[in-house]
Amino acid sequence: MPRTANIPALHSPPVLEEAGRRRTFAVISHPDAGKSTLTEALALYASVIKDAGVTHGKSSRHGTVSDWMGLEQERGISISSAALQLNHRGAVLNVVDTPGHADFSEDTYRVLAAVDFAVMLIDAAKGFEPQTLKLLAVCRRRGLPIITVINKWDRPGLEALDLIDGVAGRTGMAPVPLTWPAGRAGAFTGLFDLRSGEAVRLEAVRGGALPSLETPVPGGSGAMEGQWREALEEAELVADSHGEFDREAFHAARQTPVLFTAAAKNFGVRQLLDVLAELGPAPSARATAEGGHQPVDAGFSGFVFKVQAGQDAAHRDHIAFLRVCSGIFERGMILTNARLGRPFATKYAHRVIGRSREVIDVAWPGDIVGLVNAASLRVGDSLYATEPVRFPEIPHFAPELFTVARAADPGRYKQFRRGITQLEHEGVVQVLRSDRRGEQAPVLAAVGALQFEVAQHRMAGEFHAPATFEALPYTLAMHVDAKGSSLPETFRGGEIMHRSDGEALALFADRYKLAHFREDNPGVELTDIGA
């Protein structure tokens, strides 16, 4: 039976009050800009951890708290997203870290469907990079507010004013600095908090394992000289060009606050944490698939944006990450899966920090709940308690690489099939099938080659079913609709495959083969796969 004791009535002030305290955001950037390091630094300042993983530089770093998969720690990158909850100055920060490799951008797109704003991390030495621009475009299509963080200011890099100009030109938003560095890139000695007027000298403690030492600079801005005066004049120049910070303009994605950090040394992290807590937008009414909006104080509803297996090898469980959109979640309540029309019991609900987890009894709009042993849930599933609601589906993205997977040991075919199904449910790869190839030779489709490497790694280590992969010569996939006509299984330079959701896809070796297909099959409609 669902537990109901001590839960406030819906539409009551506690629901709006708790939702108003939440700040749910993703950290996005090009690979190696410091996403996991920054996430860990935020956790350090919020007292979730006592010692940061970065102790003496990346070469000797421990695995960060959000990087739990063995392959992540081996490569020093994030290839799965992790959700952390932090508390700071009365606000509850739900931080969703995202994959640190471009090959896993589809996972990042799913995360962006579950957050209310984004922290865009820019490498001070490199400025805007291709993956950052792709993710920025997704944020803009969704109207997500963005906080810009220029990271690695402790290393040689570009001029601060040039980076600000880049933010204005690339984002189409007015950049408004809230902090400004004293010292050029590579000589990060202090920081101005332009909101409070505070100036502090910065010193790393134990190589960045502990919060940085901040020493106030006496005398105020009028008495400052040298690099401090120069830095303040630069900040004032930017303010004159782009205006003062406006919360409404930020929430409407017309302005982007800008802060400078060196996450590996914890420089500027406290100031960023303050900005997230004080200025980040809270959850609001969410669009539904029917074209309406679900208020945060309506009955409970939420949707699954990620499914992850293998976090607890001892129990071989898998977790569905649920974004709470409205109402109150209580562990043990019986929900309805809108896709299946079937009940789902929430007996096992956890908050997940890397491999660690703790039980969640109650969650509010904006929170991320890890539903354990949720074998029936899929990415994009909507769940509700009383009034039916369905949120927009999380789209697939067009794959560019294809490979045939086969069990290396035919005697372990059952394990092979179970592993392939699990990877499909998680969205690690798209799985395509056809009568011609049969169930023993599914085709795996991916955006990047590393997805295949992760799939092969997990098939052998997690599912004990080593698989061989044979690359196919296809580079393009499109939705196909025959409109009553029969579809050929194969054609010149391609073939027809099917996803488990019933969608038929046509795979092509190149654009020329696509043109031939259209000539040979004029009654078949092809459409792009995309967000």
CATH number at residue 486: 3.30.70.3280
Cβ atoms of 190 and 182 closer than 8 Å: yes
Identify whether 502 is part of a domain: yes
pLDDT recorded at residue 142: 87
User: Could you tell me the CA-to-CA distances from 423 to 239, 321, 481 in Å, in that order?
Assistant: 49, 15, 26
Per-residue pLDDT of 150-183, as tens digits, reads 999 999 999 999 999 999 999 999 999 999 999 8
Mean pLDDT of 234-259: 92
Question: Domain check: are 269 and 295 in the same one?
Answer: no
pLDDT tens digits along 291-309: 999 999 999 999 999 887 6
Residue that is written with structure tokens 């040979």 in the block = 520
Residues of the chain above pLDDT 70, percent:
85
Q: Which of 225-234, 237-246, 340-349 is the least confident region?
A: 225-234
Structural tokens at position 467:
């698989």
**Quick check: 49 pLDDT over 80?**
no
CA neighbor of 267 nearest in space, from 198, 166, 192: 192
Residue 19 lies in a domain: no
Long-range contacts of 6-11 (CB under 8 A, 24+ apart): 7/328, 7/330, 7/362, 8/328, 10/297, 10/298, 10/299, 10/327, 10/328, 11/297, 11/298
CATH number at 357 reads 2.40.30.10
Residue 181 domain flag: yes
Whether residue 461 is found in the same domain as residue 492: yes
Domain count, the chain: 3
Which strands make up the sheet holding 334-337, listed edge to edge? 342-345, 334-337, 382-384, 301-309, 318-326, 368-372, 349-353, 356-359
- In sequence order, what are the residues at sequence separation of 6 or more whose Cβ sits closer than 8 angstroms to the Cβ of residue 385? 299, 300, 301, 327, 333, 334, 335, 336
Ramachandran angles phi, psi of 221, nearest 5° = -65, -30
The strand pairing partners of 402, in sequence order, are: 445
How far is CA 172 from its chain centroid? 22
By residue range, what is the domain housing residue 174? 26-279
Judge contact between 228 and 217, C-beta under 8 A: yes
* Domain-located, residue 21: no
pLDDT band at 466; cut points 50, 70, 90: very high
What's the whole-number mean pLDDT along residues 453-471? 92
For residue 102, give both structure tokens: 């471009």
Q: Are strands 146-151 and 255-260 parallel, antiparallel or unpaired?
A: parallel
pLDDT tier for residue 185 given thresholds of 50, 70 and 90: very high
> Does residue 394 fall inside a structural domain?
no
- What pLDDT band is residue 66 in, cutting at 50, 70 and 90? very low
Distance CA 27, CA 447 (A): 20
* Alpha carbon 360 to chain centroid, angstroms: 21
Q: What residue has token string 């993703």?
A: 26
The answer to whether residue 513 scores a pLDDT higher than 90 is yes
Question: Crossing angle of helices 130-142/160-171, nearest 10°?
Answer: 50
Q: Are residues 234 and 154 in the same domain?
A: yes
Check residue 358 and give its pLDDT.
85
Residue 145 pLDDT > 90? yes
- Report the CATH number at residue 154: 3.40.50.300
Does 229 lie in the same domain as 86? yes
Specify if 361 maps to a domain.
Answer: yes
pLDDT digits (tens, 9 = 90+) for 399-410: 889 999 999 999
Task: Looking at the structure, tell me whether residues 290 and 341 fall in a common domain.
Answer: yes
Q: Calculate the average pLDDT of the chain.
A: 85
What is residue 353's predicted lDDT score, i.e. its pLDDT? 64
Residues 490 and 517 in one domain: yes
Q: Which of 463, 422, 445 is nearest to 499 (CA)?
A: 445
Does residue 202 sit in the same domain as residue 311?
no
Does residue 265 carry a pLDDT above 90? yes
The rounded Cα 531 to chain-centroid distance in angstroms is 15
Do 162 and 309 have their domain in common? no
Instruction: Tell me the residue ranges of DSSP E strands in 178-316.
Output: 179-182, 190-193, 198-205, 210-216, 255-260, 286-287, 293-294, 301-309
522's CB contacts (< 8 A; 6+ apart) are: none
Q: Is residue 6 part of a domain?
A: no
Tokens of 322: 């649920």
Residues 439 and 510 in one domain: yes
Listed residues 226, 249, 279: the one ending a domain:
279
Q: Which residue has the tokens 């092979």?
A: 416
Residues 330 and 311 in one domain: yes
Question: From the DSSP assignment, how many helices (H) and strands (E) are in the chain?
Answer: 12, 32
61 and 146 part of one domain: yes
Q: Is residue 7 domain-resident?
A: no
State the pLDDT at residue 57.
38
The domain boundary, picked from 279, 300, 325, lies at: 279
Distance between CA atoms of residues 246 and 173, nearest Å: 12
C-alpha separations of 347 from 84, 323, 528 in Å: 21, 17, 40
Pair 376, 414 in one domain? no
3-state helix, strand, coil in the chain (%, to 5): 30, 30, 40
What's the pLDDT at 312?
A: 54
- pLDDT value of residue 394: 83
73 or 312: which leads in pLDDT: 312
Please give the pLDDT value at position 73: 46
Phi, psi of 488, rounded to the nearest 5 degrees: -75, 145
Q: What is the pLDDT of residue 483?
A: 64
Listed residues 264, 279, 294: the one ending a domain: 279
